[in-house]
Every structure is written in structure tokens, then in C-alpha cells.
Amino acid sequence: MNKEAITCVVSSRYTDKEKESFLENIKNTCLCSINIFFITNDGSKSLSELYNEMVEKSENDIIVFIHDDIEFLKGGWGKDIIELFNKHQDYGIIGIAGSADFEDHCAWWRCSKKYGQVLHRHDGRSWLSAFSPLLKEDLQEVCVIDGLFMAIHKKRISKNFDKEFKGFNHYDTSFCISNFIDGKCKIGVTTKLRVAHNSIGETKPNWFENKELLLKKYGEYFPFDVEKNER
């Protein structure tokens, strides 16, 4: 195992031709040793199920799960993630957007203690979603992060992705909440990485279905707050 290498996992509906420029962007900007698993998924597997399989298969401790509609705008993101995990060994999950509090509406972007920055592009327009100013510190501790970019250290997390969450929604929040409650590792947001998201999020029926499951499983713990919750 190479401690200076990462595994990158992408679940996508892209064809082989469509994925070429996407993969080139990953390879050209990571600036570290990387194993990329680009998995064509027609929806037959939930992200929770697929991600758990890749946690088992990865020979590297650091695994980065990304959506297929992002673009890295700054070189060195892979190197940065390795350095962050090496420097902050109490952290097991790192993202680029998330919140230090979380309420029963289950939408982290509506929470009061949001952090991170993501450039959005849609219908020929682009805008910066600045959930916070650029962070002065390496990491801001949070309780949930957004799944468009999730880096984990598989030897530090205590809970895997929950297969009860079908489809493509709340796999990220349920994963973060279960690890946050268990308290074996911290969850952080960094603004060292600069990323563009070439779409906008939509709350489809599966989002609301999984929201109800999230409340059923963790409702007794709400609301979450990094500063107030005892773990």
C-alpha cells in the first residue's frame, strides 16, 4: 500500500467517449499517485451499496468519492487531501461543502453554520456558491458534508454507508451522521480545493423518501451541532 496514493471512485452514466475529458481532468490535477475506478451505473445500485463495495476493494486508505459533473479548477487537490489527513489524524471524512449544524429539514445548505465554496455552472451561466468565506484554517469541523466530493480515510471511520438508503440521496448525510454520533473521527470542510459543479442540485422524490428514513433512524438526535452535541 502506498501511503502517498489515493483511490478515486466515480459512479456515472457517461459513455466511454463522454468520460474521457472528465478523467483527464482528474489525472492532470491530482498531482499524486491515484487509482481511478470509473463505474458505469445505470441506477441498479445505490451509491451506498456501490461505495461500500469500493471501500472494501480499495488498496489505499484514502478514498475520494466524486460526482461525474465536477471539474477540478486547481492542481494538487489529491496531494492536498493526503496532507490534510496526515496533518489532522483525528479527521476521517473531509469535504468541500457542509454544515456544522443540521436540523430536521435535512438540507445542509439551509443551515446557519455552512462552510465551503463551489463554483456552479448551469445553462451557460456560472456563479460562486460561497457558503462561507475562504477558511483561514486547514479544516472547519462540521457534522455533514455534501456528496459531490467526499474524501474518507477508511481506517478512521467507524460506520460504512447505509444500504437502507436507496438511490442517490442522503447517502452522504446518513454516512456523516452515523460517524458523527459514533464520535470516533471528526468531519471537516476545506476550501483549499477549488471545484466547479456543472449542474445544480434538485430535490427529487427519492430525496424526500430518504429524508423520512433519515428522520426515522436519527430523529431522536436532532438537531445536531458540532459545538453543542456531546458524542
> Does residue 180 sit within a domain?
yes
> Would you state the pLDDT for residue 231?
47
- Rounded to an integer, what distance in angstroms lies between the CA atom of residue 76 and that of residue 117? 17
Q: 21: part of which helix (H) or strand (E)?
A: helix 20-30
pLDDT at 9 over 70: yes
> Does residue 231 sit within a domain?
no
> Would you state the pLDDT for residue 1?
59
pLDDT at 216 over 90: yes
> Does residue 230 sit within a domain?
no
Domain count, the chain: 1
Q: What is the pTM of this model?
A: 0.96
What cell was used for 215? Answer: 428522520
Q: Which domain holds residue 189?
A: 5-225
Burial grade of 134 (CB within 10 A; 0-12, 13-18, 19 or more):
exposed
> Does residue 67 sit within a domain?
yes
> Does residue 76 sit within a domain?
yes
> Would you state the pLDDT for residue 2?
66
Report percent pLDDT > 70 for the chain: 97
Residue range 33-76, pLDDT digits in tens:
999 999 988 888 999 999 999 999 999 999 999 999 999 999 99
Report percent pLDDT > 90 for the chain: 86
Helical H runs in 61-204? 77-87, 171-182
> Does residue 36 sit within a domain?
yes
Which of 7-21, 142-156, 170-184 has the lowest average pLDDT?
7-21
pLDDT at 197 over 80: yes
Over range 122-136, report the average pLDDT: 95
- Rounded to an integer, what distance in angstroms lies between the CA atom of residue 8 and that of residue 26? 9
- The CATH number for 130's domain is 3.90.550.10
> Does residue 60 sit within a domain?
yes
Which of 1-5, 83-87, 122-126, 220-224 has the lowest average pLDDT?
1-5
- Rounded to an integer, what distance in angstroms lies between the CA atom of residue 27 and that of residue 33? 9
> Does residue 115 sit within a domain?
yes
